[in-house]
Amino acid sequence: MINRWAAAGSAVVGSFGAVGLATAVAGSAPWRYVSESGVPGAPHAPLYQVSLVLLAGSLALLAVATRPVCGLIALSLALSSPLAALSGVVHCSPGCPLPPYESTTPQDLVHAAAAIGALLLCALAILLYWFRVRWIAWLGMLIAWPPLILSAVGVVFVGRSLFTGVMERAALVGVSAWVVVAAVRHARVREPQ
C-alpha cells in the first residue's frame, strides 16, 4: 500500500514541479540554456529552484514505488533524485557557461554535472523498464530519449543555440511527463510485495 501512496505522491509532486519549471522557463529566450532561468536575478529564479526540488522529490517517491518492481529501476531513480535537487539548489553563473565554448566556474560545473547525471539516470530507468513494464519503456524512448540525445549533441557540438535550447526544453518536458505517467501507472496497479 505504501508503494501506491508513494506513486500517487510522485505523480502529484511531479506535476507541480513540471508546471512550475515550465512556467519559470517560459519567459526566457529559447536559445538560452534552461538553467539560466535559475540564476539569481532571473524573473522566476525561486520558482525554477523550487520546481527542480519538487521534481527531485517526485523521483525519490517514484523510486519507493518501483522498489517491488525492480531494484535497479528504483536505484537509478533514487540516485537521480539528489542530483536533480543539487542542480536546482546550486545555480550556474549568469549565462550558464559550459565548456568547451565558454569559460566556466566550479559552481557551473557542479550544476551542469548534477543536471546531466540526473537526466542520464532517468534515461537508464527508462531503459530498465524494458524488462518489467515494456510500454513505459516505449513511452520514455519515444518522448524522452530523442530530445535527450539531441540536447546532448547540441551542448557538446553546437553550444548555446536555438537548437540546443529547444532540445533542452523538449527533453525536460519528455522526462517530466514520463515520470508522471510512470507514477500514475504505479499508483493504479497493485505491485507484488
Cell of 52: 527542480
Query: Can you say how many angstroms the Cα of residue 66 is from the centroid of all Cα atoms in its chain?
Result: 17
Amino acid at 121: L
**pLDDT tens for each residue of 112-165:** 999 999 999 999 999 999 988 899 999 999 999 999 999 999 988 998 899 999
Cell of 11: 505523480
Is the per-residue pLDDT at 79 higher than 80?
yes
Grid-cell match 566556466, residue found: 104
Amino acid at 61: L
Cell of 116: 546531466
Q: How far is CA 60 from CA 65, 161, 170, in A?
A: 9, 32, 22
Q: What is the pTM of this model?
A: 0.94
